[in-house]
Chains A and B, each alone.
Chain A
């Protein structure tokens, strides 16, 4: 640090001696400088490598011809490069005007001509320039040899590559460069000897000219292809062909880049990211799809960073081998064309591949109806789709771009001709709320167990071929331990293709089967819900107490394919038969103990009113304690006044707090319950006394 300060001090003194010199740039800026020459005028652009977004920093650097081989000098915070008009080095400060430097050339330097590839060392205060067949040269920028230009002995015969830029590594002292053409190599150049080592191929494809190359503080190399503006990020320690574009920057026929190698490439502006799972490339660390929000161009009118994907609609399903319609709404269009690209992970391998591009560079208007072909090989099930809007053409599913928006959606692919039948809807859950003191009546706070569930039946030719269940544990307000299961009345266990069941708890795939070994199909989520209800310190229950909010709800996803598709007429009605049962081996009240002489386990079930229990239930509970079940009339789990121990509310219901009664939390419930027609207060669950219910 002392050295740097003294260097800066010496330099500032030198600057003061040259009154016409501009001030230096800010210390080690993060943005890359691009020197380009559109319309024969040399300009400076500032490029954010994160998204490729750029702005014009200088309209005219007043270079007579070309200014090239530019490097950022972190010793004095100036740019240095080769001025072709004077065949000499020039310096640029924060006014972006070339300041000629008179240099003293040795013999070889005098015959070297002009340079397009060069940089300033990160270690020494020296500018290096490279030219094919001429070799490597250096110009001292301080010390007793200041402004002396020297040829590096022996480098000419090693200078076999035609390079358009090179970059100094921030710490290892070597120069690195990417060659041009259809197969580009990464080279390492020893600054002391000019010795060149080929490290491997990093690019293959359409002829590329890497006119701007930069390092960041972590030692990652960035190379920008003049022909299309694509910026590639190269790991110099693990060289391989790079197919992922890191950012889509500006393209130019003539290009040179400079950047402070000690600056990290990091997010410094408002950016919209994708939100598909990590394997698709969503976060910056994974080169995720990202868009600078510097313009008004949007899918829909909202930015999806606010979790409001609103620009894409899918009014038809995705049936394999069939067409599907996608609509897109675009706002913020200016006179410049904007392009929509879209991908669907048809094979569900967690990545968007080239053959999964469903929308290819569509020039969009404000409202667009797009027909896409769902391949016959598309896998059935839930998968992800990504849509990207930008004025940049031909962008891929990952990487940064300077404008527009990315929106990711979860979509369902089915076989052809499949109806998706949702309950209660594809955006909502139904709530099952239980009192668990059975066969004794409880306190009516209806929160001993609260589970929320969504069902999706896949129906083909009037046969249910698959059932999807999504559930979440919403509350446990009980001292007893309970399990949870769903009985599918009318469906035999053998009707289910058990080895094809896919089920996940908190997105973790499960290896055991959730099917009970009963004749009638029973899907058991767990035999002890408490294992999935993490209690916070100071809380007795899960999500039923004031000041005990907890958004960490366990989720279940279960896909049940049928080996023998179930005729729709034989499929049980929604909401099927969800029930809780006593956790085996644990005490569940004196009544059960007294009746059975043991801990009840599966013998004690609690179902919705008038849902018959499973074959595991002990029928001795009928008529015992407060139970007045009458199986001959199909009356089950009912107390003297007709209330049950469980209710279903077809809504994302807010359950009562511990000790707060259902009729206090929802004053209209009793009117609804007392009216056998169901027409009094049919939506009683919307009229809530908020002080009596749990809220996150």
Chain B
């Protein structure tokens, strides 16, 4: 089975700093006399990926992800903040999926409900962000995705009996939101 064998190790280091104040929001106003700041350091390690189907996917074998300093302000009220005029409060991000090297028709689904077991995936195809046949040699689509949907699987099914391919994508704040696959 030509499925992605991914090993992801996440080490999380949390340091809680009390009373630093400020940061995170340039528009924080009064009421922030006592704040806590959380620093989260996440290391994502990914095992080598079989070349034939995933050579362009997450090529970095090790990524360092550090969320930006977060100001946790207790009792901050809506009246206490100032929202930037162009901040529409959209809780979404964009992800660009690119597929190349398509020779025979495949069917591609990007889905958010799945289980991983014994190096393969069981995907819920009724919980997907997009689904498409791909017959041309390459395909690209930019999607708008809810902020909580940070762990997705791209499933590629062949019609000639070959085993399907699965590529897992986990959002990183450090990297651009791209999912590239060469079949």
Chain A residues with CB under 8 Å of chain B are 313-317, 319, 322-323, 325, 369, 371, 416-428, 430, 444, 459, 573-574, 608-610, 630, 633, 635, 638, 641-644, 647-651, 661-663, 669-686
Q: Is B10 an interface residue (CB 8 A)?
A: no
Choose from A315, A319, A423, A650 the contact partner of B91 (Cβ within 8 Å): A650
Q: Is B133 an interface residue (CB 8 A)?
A: yes
* Chain B hits for A319, CB < 8 A: 133
* Chain B hits for A685, CB < 8 A: 91, 148
* Chain A hits for B149, CB < 8 A: 424-425
* Chain B hits for A672, CB < 8 A: 89, 91
* Chain A hits for B25, CB < 8 A: 671, 674-675, 680
CA A649 – CA B88 in complex, angstroms? 11
Residue contact B130 to A650, C-beta cutoff 8 Å: no
- Residues 62-104 of chain B: 1 if any A CB is under 8 Å from the residue's CB, otherwise 0? 0000011011110011111111111111111100000000000
Q: Is B173 an interface residue (CB 8 A)?
A: yes
* Chain A hits for B68, CB < 8 A: 677, 679-680
Residue contact A609 to B89, C-beta cutoff 8 Å: yes
Residue contact A638 to B70, C-beta cutoff 8 Å: no
Q: Is the interface of B mostly helix, strand, loop or mixed?
A: loop
Of B41-49, B53-61, B139-147, which binds chain A? B139-147
Residue contact A417 to B123, C-beta cutoff 8 Å: no
* Chain B hits for A574, CB < 8 A: 92, 144
20 contacts between A and B (CB under 8 A): A313-B124, A315-B107, A316-B159, A317-B133, A421-B130, A422-B130, A425-B112, A574-B144, A608-B88, A633-B85, A635-B85, A648-B90, A663-B76, A670-B73, A673-B87, A676-B86, A677-B68, A679-B173, A682-B91, A682-B93
CA A418 – CA B131 in complex, angstroms? 9
- Residues 10-43 of chain B: 1 if any A CB is under 8 Å from the residue's CB, otherwise 0? 0000000000000011111000000000000000
Residue contact B72 to A671, C-beta cutoff 8 Å: yes
* Chain B hits for A682, CB < 8 A: 91, 93, 147-148
* Chain A hits for B141, CB < 8 A: 419, 421
Choose from A420, A425, A428, A647 the contact partner of B89 (Cβ within 8 Å): A647
Residue contact B67 to A679, C-beta cutoff 8 Å: yes
Q: Is B4 an interface residue (CB 8 A)?
A: no
Closest 7 CB pairs between A and B?
A642-B83, A650-B146, A427-B127, A419-B132, A316-B107, A682-B147, A683-B148
Apart from A676-B87, A678-B147: 11 A-B pairs, beta carbons within 8 A:
A317-B131, A325-B159, A369-B161, A426-B127, A426-B128, A609-B87, A647-B89, A649-B91, A662-B78, A680-B68, A683-B91
Residue contact B123 to A427, C-beta cutoff 8 Å: no
Q: Which chain A residue shows the least CB distance to B152?
A: A425
Q: Is B169 an interface residue (CB 8 A)?
A: no
A674 with B83, Cβ < 8 A, contacts A644-B89, A663-B77, A682-B147 known: yes
* Chain B hits for A670, CB < 8 A: 73, 76-78, 80-81
* Chain A hits for B87, CB < 8 A: 609, 642, 673, 676, 678
CA A608 – CA B113 in complex, angstroms? 29
Residue contact B157 to A428, C-beta cutoff 8 Å: no
A315 with B157, Cβ < 8 A, contacts A642-B84, A662-B78, A663-B76 known: yes
CA A83 – CA B127 in complex, angstroms? 63
* Chain A hits for B91, CB < 8 A: 648-651, 672, 678, 682-685
Q: Is B126 an interface residue (CB 8 A)?
A: yes
Q: Which chain A residue shows the least CB distance to B80?
A: A670
* B80 vs chain A, min Cβ distance (A): 7
- Residues 104-138 of chain B: 1 if any A CB is under 8 Å from the residue's CB, otherwise 0? 00010101110000000011111111111101000
CA A11 – CA B57 in complex, angstroms? 85
Q: Is B155 an interface residue (CB 8 A)?
A: yes
Choose from A416, A426, A661 the contact partner of B126 (Cβ within 8 Å): A426
Q: Indicate the member of A315, A422, A662 with the most B CB atoms within 10 Å.
A: A315
* Chain A hits for B84, CB < 8 A: 642, 676
* B172 vs chain A, min Cβ distance (A): 12
Residue contact A315 to B130, C-beta cutoff 8 Å: no
CA A620 – CA B129 in complex, angstroms? 40
A663 with B78, Cβ < 8 A, contacts A425-B149, A610-B86, A678-B90 known: yes
Residue contact B82 to A641, C-beta cutoff 8 Å: yes
Q: Indicate the member of A573, A648, A676 with the most B CB atoms within 10 Å.
A: A676
* Chain A hits for B70, CB < 8 A: 671, 680-681
* Chain A hits for B161, CB < 8 A: 369
Residue contact B129 to A422, C-beta cutoff 8 Å: yes
Residue contact B123 to A323, C-beta cutoff 8 Å: no
* Chain A hits for B109, CB < 8 A: 315
* B79 vs chain A, min Cβ distance (A): 7
Residue contact A417 to B131, C-beta cutoff 8 Å: no
CA A600 – CA B93 in complex, angstroms? 36
Q: Which chain B residue shows the least CB distance to A650?
A: B146
Residue contact A671 to B76, C-beta cutoff 8 Å: yes
* A684 vs chain B, min Cβ distance (A): 7
CA A200 – CA B81 in complex, angstroms? 82
Choose from A444, A610, A649, A674 the contact partner of B27 (Cβ within 8 Å): A674
CA A633 – CA B133 in complex, angstroms? 41
A425 with B85, Cβ < 8 A, contacts A316-B157, A675-B24 known: no
CA A630 – CA B147 in complex, angstroms? 28
- Residues 157-176 of chain B: 1 if any A CB is under 8 Å from the residue's CB, otherwise 0? 10101001000000001000
Q: Which chain B residue shows the least CB distance to A420?
A: B131
* A446 vs chain B, min Cβ distance (A): 10
Residue contact A674 to B82, C-beta cutoff 8 Å: yes
Q: Indicate the member of B28, B72, B133, B173 with the most A CB atoms within 10 Å.
A: B133
CA A684 – CA B129 in complex, angstroms? 21
* Chain A hits for B67, CB < 8 A: 679
Residue contact A427 to B148, C-beta cutoff 8 Å: no
Q: Which chain B residue shows the least CB distance to A670?
A: B76
Q: Indicate the member of A669, A670, A678 with the most B CB atoms within 10 Å.
A: A670
Q: Which chain A residue shows the least CB distance to B132?
A: A419
* Chain B hits for A673, CB < 8 A: 78, 81, 83, 87, 89
* B52 vs chain A, min Cβ distance (A): 20
CA A520 – CA B182 in complex, angstroms? 41
Residue contact A648 to B89, C-beta cutoff 8 Å: yes
CA A325 – CA B149 in complex, angstroms? 27
Q: Which chain B residue shows the least CB distance to A639?
A: B83
* Chain B hits for A662, CB < 8 A: 78
* Chain B hits for A651, CB < 8 A: 91, 146, 148
Choose from A316, A609, A677, A683 the contact partner of B147 (Cβ within 8 Å): A683
Q: Which chain A residue shows the least CB distance to B76?
A: A670
CA A574 – CA B91 in complex, angstroms? 12
* Chain A hits for B77, CB < 8 A: 661, 663, 670
CA A649 – CA B147 in complex, angstroms? 10
* Chain B hits for A630, CB < 8 A: 85
CA A102 – CA B27 in complex, angstroms? 106
CA A359 – CA B90 in complex, angstroms? 45
CA A390 – CA B180 in complex, angstroms? 43
* Chain B hits for A444, CB < 8 A: 78
Residue contact A315 to B146, C-beta cutoff 8 Å: no
CA A44 – CA B144 in complex, angstroms? 65
CA A669 – CA B25 in complex, angstroms? 13
* Chain B hits for A428, CB < 8 A: 127, 146
* Chain B hits for A635, CB < 8 A: 85-86
* B167 vs chain A, min Cβ distance (A): 14
CA A488 – CA B26 in complex, angstroms? 35
* Chain A hits for B173, CB < 8 A: 679
Residue contact A686 to B107, C-beta cutoff 8 Å: no
* Chain B hits for A669, CB < 8 A: 78
Residue contact A680 to B131, C-beta cutoff 8 Å: no
